[in-house]
A and B are shown apart, each in its own frame.
Chain A
Amino acid sequence: MSRISSEPAQYPIRERLHWFELPRRDFLKLCGGGLLVCLSGSPLRAQEAGGHFGEHELPKEIGAWIHIGPDGAVTVFTGKVEVGQNIRTSLAQLVAEELRVGFNTITMVMGDTDLTPWDMGTFGSRSTPTMGPILRNMASAARQVLTETAAQRWNTDPSRLSAGDGRITNPATGESLGYGEITRGEKLTRTVSGDPPLTPAAEWKVAGTAVPKVNGRAFVTGKHRFPSDISRPGMLFGKIVRPAGFHGTLVSADTSQAEKMPGVQVVRDADLLGVVAPGSWTAEQAAGAVHAHWNVPPQISNAELFSYLPAHPENAGRDDSDAQGSLAAVEKTLAGSEVKLQQQYTIAYIAHAPLEPRAAVAEWNGNQLTVWTGTQRPFGVRDELAEAFRIPATQVRVIMPDMGSGYGGKHTGECAIEAARLAKAAGKPVKLIWTREEEFTWAYFRPAGLIRIRSGAERDGKLTAWEHLNYNSGPSGIDIPYDVSAKLVEFRPTQYPLRQGSYRGLAATANHFARESHIDELAHAVGMDPLQFRLRNLSNDRLRVVFQTAAERFGWGKSKPAAGVGYGIAGGTEKGGYVATCAEVEVDPAGKIRLRRIVQAWECGAIVNPDGLRNQVMGAAIQGLGGALFESIQFKDGRILNPHFAEYRVPRFSDMPEVEVILVNRKDLPSAGAGETGIVGVAPAISNAIYSATAKRLRDMPMAPGAMLGV
């Protein structure tokens, strides 16, 4: 399988991923009495090892553990984390379903490297399709163990017993035991393997329902503790003195003024320049009082970006192409096609801007390091810390309280490392919260990209040839879902000026913007309705269904109510999700654009929680409209020019269109993840609607910086 079609789950990180073999810890000691179920030799290992993760050794025991205490309380241990995608709730639903217990008996322990099994990280829409089945398997196996234990107790055959509401019952005798009673408080450990029977989605009673977010009340009362809310006894507050630009080197630093401030300690440790203080305000002022001179090399600006990218291949002179298809076939078919098009599309760098910036509290106890931090990869951050301090990973514990979102932007541990370095120097626990400006500058960005497409079609609407070249933004979602005999799709890595990494949906947004805009152009070129043109060339049934569902609800084909109003449609599939988006825009004579309505149809197999799913798909569409219309990182000479919300515009209430989400529930299909792909249809649907309204084609994201069409 080529890299293109393997749906990479995160942007490839250049550096080696580290893996430390850990001694197995005695979880029963921690849990007390009861039943602990572990899963081994899981067939899911093959899934986990799919794509380009195959190169990394996976742990001997993967997934999760389930513990059932003497009181019947169920504790589930998973390395996945909750970042707002509602996985804490939906995974618990799956466990409740297979274990046959009430939803409220379950406690999820997540993302704590000392308490949960190793996990690669929470990204790539993988928690539902990979962790979901692991937990279902374990819960089903636990139910089997409990049933067998009860059968032994009653000297009967397990097949005569039934499980429900946290109890095993013998219908013949009326005998009944709670799960906690079955273990009699003893410590039981069972390792199970194989594929225990799973409850089909059509029979789900807890899974598949709109269970509210488990700790919703804690959020509306301010009681939930996010990573930035963690406090430790004797804790100091840190602040980093940042270089004046990227790749800056310190020439000199006058720290005398800062050192005179009460309780302030200046920390200089190799490349790190920072301060710690008893209060965060004092720390901020002390950092500002450090007068540092930096040597920052000249660097390119966003004005030169799109000529720079194609001119600077990552490996000049080396053929590292991962092209899928044949250039010769495309050239030949194009030459014979009745309609030919060639266009170029660009996508600006954008920022994740999670409302909770990077935050960490680090505490050393001798050689043992504990860090509370917001990250999508607690085990990855643990390994980064271990490597940074040259200590075994067993001496590092990373705890990830449910955090203020990430969108792919919190894979790395730079803030955790900085906090730990400051804490080590200070000899006390240190909290470090990045400022908004730091988050906008020193995190990483969604890669900018340039995409060139050439296409051919017949006058009757048949797509004949397709060439799609993506420079830098990435391979995710690059392959065309339409039927075309001659194609070439290729991701061309380039050198790039800003630190870049994962983002919700990865490059699927860029690739769908280019492809679905171009398909629209091609439809107009052959004189066909854009929806009909798509369906004419689409044999993928799941994608057809979402297109038709969205179009029907939107009222596709209706006449436009007024001049300056336009309708657009776009869609695609990635990471097991299928999406189609319709957009209605209004452009006034001055060029001011207003997005009036979005209708989005979504299908990702069997729905685990329709309420949480609807929230994700709607949120993805709304987040997507920012990148579509106005989000753009401006940079020059190693500096970000708009590192504040006042200058970097994110979607707000006043940008809200009417949003309708239609969920297609396929109980006959495995559940796929839903956090990302809902974002991909928005930009091209808007672009196509703008064309419909104005006959102007916008091929650059963002399309309307300052709410005005850039035409």
Chain B
Amino acid sequence: MARFLLDVNGAKLPVEAPGDEPLLWVLRNRLDLMGTKYGCGEGQCGACTVFLDGQPARSCQVTVAAAAGSKIITIEGLDQNGVLTPVQQAFVDEGAFQCGYCTSGMILSATALLREHPRPTQQQIIDAMDGNVCRCGTYPRIVAAIRRASQRMATEGSSHVQD
């Protein structure tokens, strides 16, 4: 066991964990941030996506030791004072979920995409999102939600995305 000071959603949080423990399990089991999901543990499904220093990362593939020192943002850190981000709101508005288990990872990946490409092409959406699995098959609605969020962000001139 080792001690780490993690920067999660803007807060400095001390944790004690084996250094090789995946960040996913530290977030979920030691910090009670359950919004980040386990889907495969192999970086193949995207359910555990978080931001590390603003870049999307599979938290099942990053050790806590490697994540310490980075700014970590999870699904719980997106909305501010109860106000949903445009991407979160677009998922609600489009009903872009069924069981909702993939939704956290989808929203993080979509948020990263829109930061890089505020008006993404269809191909850019597919390229950015292809690593995220929705077994319920709501892909067309997720694409629609990404487009809706893109439009809203263009209108409001703000990405609502923090690092």
Q: Which residues of A contact B (CB under 8 A)?
A: 83-86, 212-213, 216-217, 219-226, 228-229, 231, 237, 262, 279-282, 353-357, 402-405, 407, 433, 435-436, 611-612, 615-616, 618-623, 644-646, 650-654, 656, 659
Contacts and interface: CB of A to CB of B under 8 A. Distances in A.
Nearest to A84: B99
B140 A405 contact: no
Contact of B130 (A217, A354, A646, A652): A652
In terms of DSSP, what is the predominant structure of the interface of chain B? loop
Contact of B140 (A237, A354, A436, A659): A659
B99 A653 contact: no
Interface in B122-163: 125-126, 129-130, 132-143
B11 interface: no
B53 interface: no
Contacts of A621: 137
A213 B130 contact: no
Interface in B1-46: 1, 17-18, 20-22, 25, 28-30, 32-42, 44-45
Contact of A403 (B20, B38, B45, B99): B99
Most B CB within 10 A of own CB, among A226, A354, A404: A404
In terms of DSSP, what is the predominant structure of the interface of chain A? loop
B92 A645 contact: no
Interface in B77-128: 78-79, 84, 88-89, 91-92, 95, 97-104, 107, 125-126
19 contacts: A85-B98, A221-B78, A262-B1, A280-B25, A281-B22, A357-B38, A404-B99, A405-B99, A405-B136, A407-B135, A436-B45, A615-B98, A619-B137, A620-B137, A622-B139, A645-B42, A645-B133, A651-B137, A653-B130
A356 B137 contact: no
Given A615-B138, A652-B133, A213 B97 contact: yes
Given A226-B34, A228-B37, 10 more contacts: A212-B92, A217-B92, A219-B97, A221-B88, A222-B76, A224-B100, A282-B18, A404-B100, A405-B136, A623-B135
A84 B134 CA distance: 12
B98 A225 contact: no
A435 B25 CA distance: 13
B89 to A, nearest CB: 8
Contacts of B88: 220-221
Contacts of B75: 220-222
Contacts of A219: 91, 97, 100, 103
Contacts of A221: 35, 75-76, 78-79, 84, 88
Contacts of B141: 615, 618
Contact of A226 (B74, B101, B126, B129): B101
A34 B88 CA distance: 38
Contacts of A353: 135
Contact of B135 (A86, A405, A653): A405
Interface residues of B, number: 60
Contacts of A435: 41
A623 B136 CA distance: 7
Contacts of A280: 25, 29
Given A355-B99, A404-B101, A621-B137, A645 B84 contact: no
Contact of B126 (A231, A619, A620, A654): A654
Nearest to A407: B135
Contacts of B57: none
Contacts of B97: 84, 213, 216, 219-220
Contacts of A223: 35, 76
B47 interface: yes
Given A355-B133, A622-B137, A279 B17 contact: yes
A645 B37 contact: no
Nearest to B35: A222
Contacts of A653: 125-126, 129-130, 132, 139, 142-143
Nearest to B128: A653
A622 B136 CA distance: 8
A86 B104 CA distance: 18
B138 A436 contact: no
A402 B101 CA distance: 10
Given A355-B99, A621-B137, A220 B91 contact: yes
A354 B135 contact: yes
Given A220-B92, A355-B133, A618-B137, A405 B41 contact: no
A84 B40 contact: no
A357 B135 CA distance: 12
Given A279-B25, A281-B21, A281-B22, A84 B100 contact: yes
Given A84-B136, A279-B17, A216 B99 contact: no
Contacts of A612: 95
A616 B98 CA distance: 8
B161 to A, nearest CB: 15
Contacts of B44: 436, 644-646
Given A356-B99, A645-B45, A436 B143 contact: no
Contact of A615 (B21, B95, B107): B95
